[in-house]
Amino acid sequence: MVTLAEIKEAAERVRAIARVTPLLDVSSVAGRPLLLKCESLQPGGAFKIRGAYNMVARLTPEQRRLGVVTYSSGNHGQAMALAARELGAPAVVVMPTTAPPIKIDGARAFGAEVIFAGTTSVERKARAEQEAAARSLTMVPPFDHEWIIAGQGSLGLEILEQCPDVDTILVPVGGGGLLAGVAAAVKQVMPAVRVIGVEPAGAAAMKASLAAGHAVTLPKTESVADGLMPVRPGDLTFAHAQRFVDDVITVEDDQIIDAVLWLFTKAKVVAEPSGAATVAAALGGTVSSAGRLVAIVSGGNIGLEKLEELRVSRSNGVGLR
């Protein structure tokens, strides 16, 4: 397990680049106590900079000179590319062929070489491992590494500092790095605070794994939330979820789309579908909270075309995959 001391060290390390993002009270428009932790305002547009920078900063000078590689649906790739640029390391990002253009362009803008491989996390991981072996690159995994988890845990500490009377924290779940880090941080400081993971119903690998008692690989995943679609949680992230997480719940794609549009029109917050899953859970009434409820808006990398596509899909009364 990642220790509180390791998370505190990571928090100090990532201060060099990560912003202290606002905790926005939207209770009046939500019709219930609700605060949004706007990680969409981080450099690179997502929380991922915390873990990526923490890991790249801990590499040796020789490892950074040779370069780093990762596999990512987009946000981690952008974050690692940014961290590598700031720390003087060449970067290679393996993305799915279905990656949104805004995330591809973002990784390239930060100086990364982008390679495309398949549509699943398994396919892009295999290609990244090939590149690492062929070029002597250091792998910076998107979620299943103690340095990544510790970096993401800095977000948990930040929430407790900003809202010491928080009752429940909602965390989006893909591979589980953010959930693992936030839960580890929160439970080792304030054990009574509930930490609940939120997954798309079509990509509920962590929920299935917790029910089975071991990490489960889904045959496929499908969701509008492209950043929350790994077919399997990490071994480390699953172990942290088993120990520290109170529950994992699911939301439907229609709820996620509605949350994206609600955030944009009512809360004036730009969020991608992956970043809005927690808000979907809060607005859907599936989470009860005796006190202050914090929903992590984990990313805001969405283009105007995609936002309009989502708006049209809901105005027509249909979902979108």
Q: Hey, which residues are catalytic here? A: 48, 298
d(CA 44, CA 27): 27
What residue type is 21 in one-letter code? T
Give the three-class secondary structure for 141: coil
Residue 188 — φ and ψ, nearest 5°? Answer: -85, -10
Report how far apart, in Å, the C-alpha atoms of 204 and of each of 173, 248, 288 are: 8, 9, 21
- Give, to the nearest 10 degrees, the angle between helix 177-189 and helix 4-14: 120
The encoded tokens of residue 249 equal 């719940």
The encoded tokens of residue 183 equal 């839960």
CA geometry: angle at 256 spanning 173 and 149, to 5°? 15
Residue 38's contacts (CB-CB under 8 Å, 6 or more residues apart) are 21, 22, 23, 24, 269, 297
